[in-house]
Amino acid sequence: MAGLLSIFRSPFRGRPAPTGGKRGYLDEFPMDEKHFFPLPTFSFSSLPPDAPVARNRHPFYTDLALSRFGSIFTSRPSRRTWPSSQPKATEKPVKNMEKHHKFSIWYVIIAIWGVFLLNNLIVSSYGPKNMAYSDFLTALRGGEIVDVAITGDVISGTMRTMEKGDAHETRFVTRRVDPALSDELAKHNVTFRAQPESTFLRDIMSWVLPILLFFGIWYFMMQRMNPGGGVMAFGRNKAKLFAEKDIETRFTDVAGCDEAKEELKEIIDYLKEPERFQNLGGRMPKGVLLVGPPGTGKTLLARAVAGEAEVPFFSISGSEFVEMFVGVGAARVRELFTQAKEKAPCIIFIDELDAIGKARGMAVVGGHDEREQTLNQLLVEMDGFDPRVGVIIMAATNRPETLDPALLRAGRFDRQVLVDKPDVAGRLAILEVHAKNVKLGPDAELSTIAKKTPGFSGADLANAVNEAALLAARRGKQAVDMADLDEAVDRIVAGLEKKNRVINPKEKEIVAYHETGHALVARFTPGADKVHKISIVPRGIGALGYTQQLPTEDRYLMTKAELLGRIDVLLGGRAAEALIFGDVSTGAHNDLQRATDIARAMVSEYGMGETLGPATFPRQNRPVFLSPEQAPLAGREYSEATAARLDEEVKGILMDRMDHVSDLLAAKRPALERVARRLLDQEVLDDAQFEALLDAVPGPGPAA
């Protein structure tokens, strides 16, 4: 959680001593990952490495150096009207740019039924008269039959009738019943002939109709699977067009990234009043790249720009350009830019640009060339269109170090805007935005939640507010109180409580002393973050307890003494076990790993060693996040002798801090036992209860 969150873990699912602390949203100390700035980055929290939410959501490079990564999030967007000289688009709110007609099998059925009805109508109006066989015989004997044609048992022909003294010939048809009809016809001198039965309709029904039915079903299924309209539709772009009148997101709905909004206001002014820039001979950047960790709202910020400028907004993901057919991606890029020019002024937004913009020539064996063709076409299109047209390209990525240098050069993505995670003020603003529609109790303090969530992105904060509302509803409350907000943050960071997990009394006692050791060392270490909560309630997959510290402010630099204090707090749990039980457990596995990482970084990266001096000894070179340079992976660049000296210095730091922590806990043993016993009874202690227990212990103690 905030500050240092030390976790006691138990072995899980038969893994060989897979114990240690939980990784959290400000995760483990990044010894070999230098992201964003060449500053020391450290852990504010620790949660189990196998906790998927905490580990994946809060990568280590967001711990300290970038605990300010801004975020933008919105509640329900408000509708505002802005003056604009641009014409309104007529598209629907969300329109797929593929131009095709919807097909339904019912159209075919209705058409066939209509043809049959029309045929029956024509036949009944102009066809031969249907007469009974007895009437036919009567007419035959009366001499009214002129001629007949016999087809099987069907008789058709012409008969003469008298109407008002005039003779009229009428066509008739009937069915033969008498087999001796030919004798009767010859007797009355009637011309008759045999006519072969036509099989045309029967042939159509038996051969042509099944084939047509088969192709109709196949076409219908293809339309359902691929609404784009068949194989030729693969080249059509899949961008969704949002008309300007339907984009309700505005900058007022965005919080936690004031610097990014200031950078993008020029784009809005240019789209509204391009003449003001063109009169001075200036041109707007062709492309704006939004860079930042996941969950900071880069897509939302792009929509807000389109909403403020009141222009059409094309939105597409980078992965939608590439298909299984060669050349599809390039065709979609061409069509996208063609459509954008027709709708200018407008904004094209490509999300996850790294899906098509990775550096060329880095493909592994077995890959294909389609992505590079798509990238080449994108580069050509960005070079080929006139910036005065009014088409602005915006893209978002959280992996800018993988992008091709040609994509980032001047004239393409001219401007890179960092959308980082928010600081304390930004987190408070984001919480207020998301809490607009949530009923908060009188004790709910969003400022406290903002302070205890360093490293949270806007998505994490939105999730925390929503979790708190769900918890309050589950408990039958009328409003969300502080307890719900605290529990929501704990659920996000440490996982769900496992109160039904059965732990034997001996292990529970070890966990209690382990967590108390962390808390006591943090309490009596100068400069350490304040202890906020101690818990031995199992959470998540394998965490049996945790100690939560709350920082008073966001930090960007740390001194050597503060780093050593971090190591002391991490070693406090193991030292407490050794002091009370004379033995150690596997629960300190992650604590030891993180303490070792800090010590190694001090010696090899920060020049804080005693014998090696102010030199750095990186273990390997790697691309740095937010840097356009591509550095190949390589092995270490120092000798075995230097590596041995590094190992000795790391070991010396850890042993020295372990001795210091053991002496501190030995001097505070009464407090250690008192707090641990109360923790065994209550399972959870907050900061006030912890301080009260320490005040009740007789004897002076060192000041924190």
Can you give the pLDDT at residue 194? 59
For the record, the structure tokens of 535 come out as 């818990």
For the record, the structure tokens of 395 come out as 């893209």
Residues marked as catalytic: 515
Mean pLDDT of the chain: 76
**Helical ranges in 93-232 per DSSP H:** 105-126, 133-141, 181-187, 200-203, 209-225
Q: What average pLDDT score do residues 50-72 get?
A: 35
> In whole angstroms, what is the distance from residue 326 CA to residue 374 CA?
10
DSSP letters, 484-506, are HHHHHHHHHHH--B-TT----HH
Q: What average pLDDT score do residues 519-538 get?
A: 91
Cis peptide before 18, with omega less than 30 degrees from 0?
no
> In whole angstroms, what is the distance from residue 78 CA to residue 32 CA?
45
Can you give the pLDDT at residue 702? 46
Report the percent of the chain where pLDDT is more than 90: 25
Which of 45-59, 98-112, 184-198, 338-352 is predicted with the least confidence, judged by mean pLDDT?
45-59
Beta strands in 274-365 (DSSP E): 287-291, 313-317, 346-351
Q: How many CB atoms lie within 10 A of CB 269?
A: 15
The model's confidence at residue 574, banded by pLDDT at 50, 70 and 90, is very high
> In whole angstroms, what is the distance from residue 398 CA to residue 298 CA?
9
pTM over 0.85: no
Looking at residue 480, what DSSP letter applies? B
The model's confidence at residue 519, banded by pLDDT at 50, 70 and 90, is very high
The model's confidence at residue 66, banded by pLDDT at 50, 70 and 90, is very low
More reliable by pLDDT, 340 or 23 = 340
- The class of domain 424-494 in CATH terms is mainly alpha
> In whole angstroms, what is the distance from residue 362 CA to residue 197 CA?
74
Is it the case that residue 688 has pLDDT exceeding 80? yes
Phi and psi torsions of 331, nearest 5°: -65, -40
Which of 151-155, 428-432, 618-622 is predicted with the least confidence, judged by mean pLDDT?
618-622
More reliable by pLDDT, 660 or 335 = 660
CATH (residue range 108-187): 3.30.720.210
Q: What average pLDDT score do residues 468-492 get?
A: 92
- Beta strand 240-242 pairing with 145-151: unpaired
Can you give the pLDDT at residue 658? 96
- The class of domain 505-618+639-695 in CATH terms is mainly alpha
* CA 93 vs CA 253, 304, 558: distances in Å: 19, 15, 50
Sequence-distant (≥ 6) Cβ neighbours of residue 146 within 8 angstroms: 157, 158, 159, 160, 169, 190, 191
> In whole angstroms, what is the distance from residue 28 CA to residue 21 CA?
10
Can you give the pLDDT at residue 610? 87
Can you give the pLDDT at residue 672? 94
Widest pairwise Cα distance in the chain: 143
The model's confidence at residue 219, banded by pLDDT at 50, 70 and 90, is confident
Tens digits of per-residue pLDDT, 147-192? 888 777 788 888 887 777 677 788 888 877 666 777 777 777 777 6
Sign of CA dihedral 285, 287, 292, 298: positive
Instruction: Please report, for the chain, the start and end positions of each structural domain, with discontinuous segments joined by +.
Output: 108-187, 424-494, 505-618+639-695
Phi and psi torsions of 159, nearest 5°: -125, 150
3 state SS of 169: strand
Sequence-distant (≥ 6) Cβ neighbours of residue 623 within 8 angstroms: 401, 402, 629, 630, 631
Is it the case that residue 656 has pLDDT exceeding 90? yes
Residue 234, amino acid: F
Q: What average pLDDT score do residues 360-364 get?
A: 60
* CA 250 vs CA 210, 263, 364, 663: distances in Å: 57, 15, 42, 58
Is it the case that residue 73 has pLDDT exceeding 80? no
Q: How many CB atoms lie within 10 A of CB 158?
A: 16
CA atoms in the 13 A half-sphere facing the CB of 336: 32
Tens digits of per-residue pLDDT, 108-120? 778 777 777 777 6
Beta strands in 215-338 (DSSP E): 240-242, 287-291, 313-317
